[in-house]
Chains A and B, each alone.
Chain A
Amino acid sequence: MSNSNHHIDPPKWPQKLLTWFCDDALLEAIEGDLWEAFQADAGQYSARKARLRYFINTVKFLKPQFMQQTKGSLGMVSKANNYLKISFRNFQRHKLVSAINLVGLSLGLAVTLISWLYLQHHLTADAYMADSDRIYRVVRDYRSQTYTNLHFPNYYGTSRQGQLLNINAFADLPQVDQAAQFTISNSDIMGRGFYVEANNKKLRGGPILYTNTPEQLQSIFQWEMIQGSFESSTSEGVIISDKVASRYFPDSEESIVGEELFIDDKAFLIKGVVEHIPENAHFDFNLIAMVDSIPYTWGAYTYVKLAEGQKDLFETEKRMFDITKRHTPGADEDDLEKGVTLQPLRDIHLGSDYLYELESNLNPVYLYLFMAIGIVVLTITITNYVNLTIAINANRLKEVGIRKAIGANKRDVFVQFIFESLLTVIISLCIGLGLVYLALPYFNQSLEVVLSWSELVSLKQLSFVIGATLLVGVISGWYPSYILAKKPFEQLISKGGTQKRKFNVRSILLGFQVFTVITLAGFAFYVNQQINFVTQSDLGFEKEGILTVNFRGLEKYRVFKERLESNPSILRVGSGGTPANTRYNTTTYKFEEIDDVFDDANQVDMDYATAQMLGLKSSAFDLLENGKKDIMLLNETAAKKYEVVSGKSRANLLEQLLIMEPEVIEEDGTVGYPSEINGFVQDFHYFSKREAFNPLFIRVHKEIPWIYGVNIKLQTDSLFETMSFIENAYAEVETETPFIAKFIDDKLEYLYSEEYRISGIVKALGLLSILLAFAGLIGLAYYSAKLMQKEVAIRKVLGAKILGLLGVMAKEFLVIGLIASLLAVPVAVLVINSWLTNFAFRVDLNILVLVAIAALGILILYLGVIGQSYKTTRINPIEPLRSEA
């Protein structure tokens, strides 16, 4: 088999590795020896094994002693010194461009770092306890909606035993390890504020978590106890979060367990102090009240931890549904009960949008948006760097030529340039980290998150960040280094070295930047438009100067109302039906003589004063004026629906019956809750503009018999005095619950809080990336102009006009800009439209606006280029012609 005349060549790539690594003086002999060994192996073993042995033998040479010039005076150290010196000289020579590079990279890295932190913050939500993947929230499917909470068997009037029926039965299922329930005081299903008093301090006590299953709750969520414990005793007590504890007991060095605490004058013993729940959890509380039965509510949020390895959710859900049906009177016959679903805990924070969510959760679209912007900024940063570096380095051909002439090889040149870019990114990273440190508080404030600096600089994160940054350095340094290093020697010193091709990588990168900037600018513009539209444009009702105050109790309300109306700045006082609501449960209904049952309508109760202050228009209000106690109005959408399903005209709908909850049949045979239709009212945005108009059944009362909130229409010119008047009036009639008031404008803002936050960030980052791209462009134009100095001088000598010269110089940029915007406009349309589909009511996308943005972008680009070129055309043509460069 061995045939000395017939050689197989060893594989090429280990040789390349060796060439790259080894000292040139040693290389030939080593390669020869390896080659010889391979030939010997090839005669003795299979080709595969020979290759493997060759590879192993080669790898063994990757040791320091064989590395390039490790011995003598020209060692690694002095070479690095040389790299460093050249780098600094080069930075100094190109101050403008180096500064743009440095600033751009720093900002880009800072933005990327923050995006990274932000993403992590949201992706690790609700993962603070062990086995978070085994924890589920039990949600209830009823009608066509999903409730995030379960109801108690007898709603409000459920005893302790009743409240625990479902929980205990869930816990007995073999699939379930633990089951617990709680309600939080500011949730939609409790909606109360409390005064909390301890250590002689009486303050508004932020969210209170009420639970009657404290131990189970703790074994599911595993909160960190600082003092005390969720002890197993039947007596009631509270656990206080460390944040709040320090508010009530600021100087307490000792344990506060055993101290007394009052919630609305009800006394509790403090049983422990718990570390405040992480900010990215999907609910928040300051206090845990461990009570026998959960007060002021008709249901609770229910969580279970499934047994290990339990994957069969379907069976578990079915058995849980059986349990809830068994315990709720009449549920068995209720066709509207559709079942219960186990929702994974980790899915809640990212966009769960059911009824009565504990917090408005982050729509994952925004997370992706954020990620995309982070990537865009980083890409602009890198392309800036690559572009500018190629531009500067075009001037360094001679330097490279001389290096090569005195014995530098490809790798030396490559390493020099990579070294420079690594140096730049490392300096930028330091500046960028500084920027993150400074910007983080503002960022946290505007996005309402708690990103921590200490998390970023933890060893694990930081090593990742540094690694990633170096990668950025290598990516951005690679291309410029590569094209210079590979250029053959002759091309470097000959005059042809700087010749330009029309569409090289540089042009593509430049075009890409223009493309991103135009897309981003268009998107930011429409985000802004849409936000203005949803909050500022016509809502179908008057919202100016309407204040809503949390309030309960008819007797107190009458006193309160009388007090308020004595103030001439207060125009009207009413109750119920405040718009800008978050969604709540719909009702089933049918129209008279029509069999179809629908379930897409919401019921609204308001008094006449509220209807008037909202500017609702209906001819049926006359009935109230003439002494009728209450009237039923359909909004436009409901009326149209009735017209369509019945085929009757609008006038014939009056005095027909609307039957709500037709599934309920009274003992006397009445079906549902019928009421006569008295009139119609315009469509108005009762919910957010994300929702389309749905049928509303509005009952307008002369006086609402139950009070859940007060609406006050006031003159806004002496706002401060009027507000304190209202607060005083409130304090006179209501001593138990604190004063909570909001203008409708603020409610609207809250309704769109997510959009507000995101639009702020999109605008800021959009502006930043535009600035970055523009800075890069200026640098590029500056260099391009400099390179053309000689050409310009010759043209000028031959009689060219400055205007003509500018045209020539800016032409390349103009062509690139045009092509990029042609691509950017359709992409922007796509992106904007896909975002706008989140809203049922949205602004129209006008392609001309995008074209205008693109045109503006090109104009700015053009002016930038012209500005830089103009300097070149103004210099004395003798100067560049004389110089040898």
Chain B
Amino acid sequence: MKSLGNLEETVLLLVMIMDKPYGYAIADEYRKQTNQNISISAIHTVLMRLEKKGLIESKMDGATDERGGRRKRICEVTASGKSTIQSLKENRIKLWEQIPELG
């Protein structure tokens, strides 16, 4: 299993939630979901890292006018990505279950 940082985990989840996710859209969604600002460069960095770990794949597609005619790098989660996030979730739940009561 690949280790994941906190931000990596969040971005990977966002990639799984969103339809045809790409850098700017992910930054936008992150802002909406967490109420925190994040720079596009940070998102790109994380995406590059996830891709290098083999958790997502990307392809160039979907040029629009708002982008000055440039294509997007659209991401998609890989099987390895899905299983990593799955086992991560299970580990967390296991830990959560061991906490007595939160009061």
If A37-B24, A39-B66 touch, whether A63 touches B45 (CB-CB below 8 Å) is yes
**B41 interface contact, C-beta 8 A:** yes
Contact of A30 among B23, B28, B52 (CB under 8 A): B23
For B29-73 the 0/1 string (1 means CB < 8 A from A) is: 000000000011110110010001000000010010111101111
Contact of B44 among A4, A30, A71 (CB under 8 A): A30
Q: Is the CB of B24 within 8 A of A36?
A: yes
Contact of B72 among A29, A37, A57, A61 (CB under 8 A): A29
In angstroms, how far is the closest chain A Cβ from the Cβ of B92? 29
Please name all residues of chain B whose beta carbon is closer than 8 Å to the beta carbon of A61 when the two chains form the complex: 40-41, 44
Please name all residues of chain A whose beta carbon is closer than 8 Å to the beta carbon of B45 when the two chains form the complex: 63, 65
**A544 interface contact, C-beta 8 A:** no
Q: Is the CB of B66 within 8 A of A4?
A: yes
**A26 interface contact, C-beta 8 A:** yes
If A63-B45, A65-B45, A65-B48 touch, whether A32 touches B68 (CB-CB below 8 Å) is yes
In angstroms, how far is the closest chain B Cβ from the Cβ of A41? 11
**A28 interface contact, C-beta 8 A:** yes
If A7-B66, A35-B67 touch, whether A63 touches B24 (CB-CB below 8 Å) is no
**A666 interface contact, C-beta 8 A:** no
* Chain A interface size range: 20 to 34
- Chain B interface mostly: helix
Q: Is the CB of A7 within 8 A of B72?
A: no
If A29-B60, A31-B68, A65-B48 touch, whether A37 touches B40 (CB-CB below 8 Å) is yes
In angstroms, how far is the closest chain B Cβ from the Cβ of A18? 11
In angstroms, how far is the closest chain B Cβ from the Cβ of A177? 58
Q: Is the CB of A31 within 8 A of B40?
A: no
Please name all residues of chain B whose beta carbon is closer than 8 Å to the beta carbon of A308 when the two chains form the complex: none
B74 nearest in chain A by CB position: A29
Q: Residue among B52, B68, B72, B73 with the most chain A CB within 10 A?
A: B68
Q: Is the CB of B23 within 8 A of A33?
A: yes
Q: A34–B40 Cα gap in the complex (Å)?
A: 8
For A31-68 the 0/1 string (1 means CB < 8 A from B) is: 11111110110000000000000000100110101100
* Chain B interface size range: 20 to 34
A30 nearest in chain B by CB position: B44
**A9 interface contact, C-beta 8 A:** yes
Q: Is the CB of A32 within 8 A of B71?
A: yes
Please name all residues of chain A whose beta carbon is closer than 8 Å to the beta carbon of B70 when the two chains form the complex: 28-29, 31-32, 35
Q: Is the CB of B48 within 8 A of A36?
A: no
In angstroms, how far is the closest chain A Cβ from the Cβ of B28? 8
For A6-37 the 0/1 string (1 means CB < 8 A from B) is: 01010000000000000000101111111111
Q: Is the CB of B71 within 8 A of A29?
A: yes
In angstroms, how far is the closest chain B Cβ from the Cβ of A16? 14
Q: Is the CB of A63 within 8 A of B66?
A: no
Please name all residues of chain B whose beta carbon is closer than 8 Å to the beta carbon of A26 when the two chains form the complex: 44, 48
B65 nearest in chain A by CB position: A7
Q: A7–B70 Cα gap in the complex (Å)?
A: 14
If A4-B66, A7-B65, A63-B45 touch, whether A32 touches B72 (CB-CB below 8 Å) is yes
Please name all residues of chain B whose beta carbon is closer than 8 Å to the beta carbon of A30 when the two chains form the complex: 23, 40, 44
Please name all residues of chain B whose beta carbon is closer than 8 Å to the beta carbon of A66 when the two chains form the complex: 41, 44
Contact of B40 among A9, A28, A60, A71 (CB under 8 A): A60
Binding site for B on A (CB under 8 A): 4, 7, 9, 26, 28-37, 39-40, 57, 60-61, 63, 65-66, 71
Binding site for A on B (CB under 8 A): 22-24, 27-28, 39-42, 44-45, 48, 52, 60, 63, 65-68, 70-73
Q: What are 20 A-to-B residue pairs whose CB atoms are below 8 Å?
A: A26-B48, A28-B70, A28-B73, A29-B22, A29-B23, A29-B70, A30-B44, A31-B68, A32-B71, A33-B23, A33-B27, A34-B40, A36-B66, A37-B40, A60-B40, A60-B41, A61-B44, A63-B45, A65-B45, A65-B48
